[in-house]
């Protein structure tokens, strides 16, 4: 079964063709990043206008690249939320128009659930359930128990800033990045630090709490205080900040994996591209002898490949009129 995936939740306009949820056929991605770099942050109105400009070209190029036409497509899957409403509407309306004109089923996909399916694309293993999933993106930090496809149980999430947001805000505070690429910038600086002379000077919020919630806003404030009072080298602050975030993410993930006795651990979301998180999660999962799945780097950031995959494994049958963009849904929202 070939699914055309469409993703327009933020500043990327993406389409992809995926067979049976695992085999990539083609994908095309356009981004309005350069416009937001100029303004130092995403302007939703500009992101939405660029979505309008790119969407049809991106979809037709995806089909052309695969040498396929509408008759080769069995269904369409589209991100309905969460995200920027103006951006989401463009993808959802394009997908609805195509589904109507081509007489194809349209599957609504939750963007955060989509991130999880980056682990299923190209996967030769049969991922065993229950799986513990950590989704870490620019807007969300969620721990979810995945009992099977379409059967997710929310365990906890951030009470304030998401992990990616904390990276972005801290990078801005340190004056090393203005836009949502704060995560990679912090890592770049942290890698230059030869000795973490600030070890444990930043808090590890909620690390010993019994719940599965997170809180990262205090960490950012602690960084500000440290910079204002001691002005340490940026690379050392970046290193200690990255250590603090990863310490908390790993501690909570492993605690949940043990409590629920899961068979696998899955990572997803833009922050899954973080090298320290990837290597330390692998090592910690090895220690508790649990299989861990980490998506390849190119599938960590937003794309339509995992949206098509999520649509295949979660083929929700809905009337077109009932499929709506919704900017504020969470990972456990029933679509
Ligand atoms: O999932 P994503 O592409 O967009 C959302 O759905 O939010 O995630 C973007 C987030 C940004 O906050 C970015 O700073 C973060 O992922 N990120 C990273 C890294 N690469 C991207 N955070 C830490 N380390 C990285 N290497
Ligand atoms: Zn995302």
Does 302 contact ligand 1 (Cβ within 6 A)? yes
Does 7 contact ligand 1 (Cβ within 6 A)? no
pLDDT of 179 higher than 80: no
Does 180 contact ligand 1 (Cβ within 6 A)? yes
258-297 pLDDT per residue, tens: 999 999 999 999 999 999 999 999 999 999 999 999 999 9
Does 187 contact ligand 1 (Cβ within 6 A)? yes
Mutate to test the pocket of ligand 1, among 136, 267, 270, 297 (most ligand atoms within 8 A of CB): 270
Which residues, in sequence order, are CB contacts of 240 under 8 Å at separation 6+?
196, 198, 199, 201, 202
Q: What is the mean pLDDT of residues 146-162?
A: 97
Nearest ligand for residue 189 CA: 1
Confidence of residue 40 (pLDDT cuts 50, 70, 90): confident
Q: What is the mean pLDDT of residues 105-119?
A: 98
DSSP string, 71-111: GG--EEEEEEESS-HHHHHHHHHHHHHHHHHHT--EEEEEH
Q: Quick one: pLDDT at residue 180?
A: 67
Q: What is the mean pLDDT of residues 79-105?
A: 98
pLDDT of 39 higher than 90: no
Does 82 contact ligand 1 (Cβ within 6 A)? no
Does 301 contact ligand 1 (Cβ within 6 A)? yes
Instruction: Provide the percentage of residues in the chain whose pLDDT is more than 90.
Output: 95
Confidence of residue 34 (pLDDT cuts 50, 70, 90): confident
Whether residue 62 contacts residue 15, with contact meaning beta carbons closer than 8 Å, is answered with yes
Q: Quick one: pLDDT at residue 178?
A: 72
Q: Quick one: pLDDT at residue 36?
A: 87
Confidence of residue 177 (pLDDT cuts 50, 70, 90): confident
pLDDT of 244 higher than 70: yes
Q: What is the mean pLDDT of residues 95-122?
A: 98
44-85 pLDDT per residue, tens: 999 999 999 999 999 999 999 999 999 999 999 999 999 999
pLDDT of 157 higher than 80: yes
Place of tokens 């970046």: 238
In 3D space, the residue among 214, 294, 295, 289 whose CA is nearest the CA of residue 258 turns out to be: 289
Atom 7 in ligand 1: which residue has the minimum CA distance? Answer: 138
Preceding omega of 158 cis (within 30 degrees of 0): no
Q: What is the mean pLDDT of residues 120-142?
A: 97
Does 87 contact ligand 1 (Cβ within 6 A)? no
Three-state SS for 176?
A: coil
Nearest ligand for residue 11 CA: 1
Confidence of residue 38 (pLDDT cuts 50, 70, 90): confident
Whether residue 236 contacts residue 251, with contact meaning beta carbons closer than 8 Å, is answered with no
Does 12 contact ligand 1 (Cβ within 6 A)? no
User: What is the sign of the dihedral through the CA atoms of 86, 9, 217 and 233?
Assistant: negative
Q: Quick one: pLDDT at residue 330?
A: 95
The rounded mean pLDDT for the chain is 96
Atom 23 in ligand 1: which residue has the minimum CA distance? Answer: 183
Q: What is the mean pLDDT of residues 150-157?
A: 97
Which residues, in sequence order, are CB contacts of 173 under 8 Å at separation 6+?
220, 223, 224, 227
pLDDT of 333 higher than 90: yes
Kindly state the tokens that stand for 4: 């055309």
48-51: long-range pairs with CB below 8 Å, 24+: 48/84, 48/86, 48/87, 48/89, 48/90, 50/11, 50/13, 51/8, 51/13, 51/86, 51/87, 51/90, 51/91
Q: What is the mean pLDDT of residues 226-255?
A: 97
Q: Which atom of ligand 1 is nearest to the CA of 182?
A: 14
pTM: 0.96
Nearest ligand for residue 42 CA: 1
Nearest ligand for residue 245 CA: 1
Does 158 contact ligand 1 (Cβ within 6 A)? no
Confidence of residue 325 (pLDDT cuts 50, 70, 90): very high
């Amino acid at each position: 079964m070939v699914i055309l995936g469409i993703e327009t939740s933020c500043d990327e306009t993406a389409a992809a063709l995926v067979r049976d949820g695992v085999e990539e056929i083609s994908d095309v991605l356009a981004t309005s990043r350069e416009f937001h770099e100029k303004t130092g942050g995403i302007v939703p109105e500009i992101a939405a206008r660029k979505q309008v400009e790119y969407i049809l070209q991106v979809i037709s190029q995806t089909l052309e690249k695969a040498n396929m036409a509408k008759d080769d497509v069995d269904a369409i899957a589209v991100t309905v939320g969460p995200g920027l409403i103006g951006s989401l509407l463009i993808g959802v309306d394009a997908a609805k128009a195509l589904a109507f004109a081509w007489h194809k089923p349209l599957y609504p996909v939750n963007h955060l659930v989509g991130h999880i399916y980056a682990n299923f694309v190209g996967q030769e293993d049969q991922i065993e359930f229950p799986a513990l999933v950590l989704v870490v993106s620019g807007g969300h930090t969620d721990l979810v128990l995945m009992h099977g496809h379409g059967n997710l149980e929310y365990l906890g999430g951030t009470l304030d800033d998401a992990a990616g947001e904390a990276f972005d805000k801290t990078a801005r505070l340190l004056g090393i990045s203005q836009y949502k690429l704060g995560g990679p910038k912090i890592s770049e600086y942290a890698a230059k630090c030869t000795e973490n002379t600030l070890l444990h000077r930043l808090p590890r919020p909620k690390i010993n709490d019994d719940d599965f919630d997170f809180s990262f806003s205090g960490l950012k404030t602690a960084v500000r205080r440290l910079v204002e009072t001691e002005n340490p080298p940026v690379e050392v602050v970046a290193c200690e900040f990255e250590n603090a975030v990863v310490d908390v993410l790993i501690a909570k993930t492993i605690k949940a994996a043990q409590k629920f006795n899961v068979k696998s651990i899955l990572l997803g979301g833009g922050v899954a591209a973080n090298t320290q998180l990837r290597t330390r999660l692998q090592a910690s999962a090895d220690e508790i002898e649990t299989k861990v799945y980490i998506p390849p780097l190119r599938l960590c950031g937003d794309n339509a490949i995992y949206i098509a995959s999520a649509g295949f494994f979660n083929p929700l049958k809905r009337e077109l009129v009932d499929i709506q963009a919704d900017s504020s849904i969470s990972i456990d929202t029933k679509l």
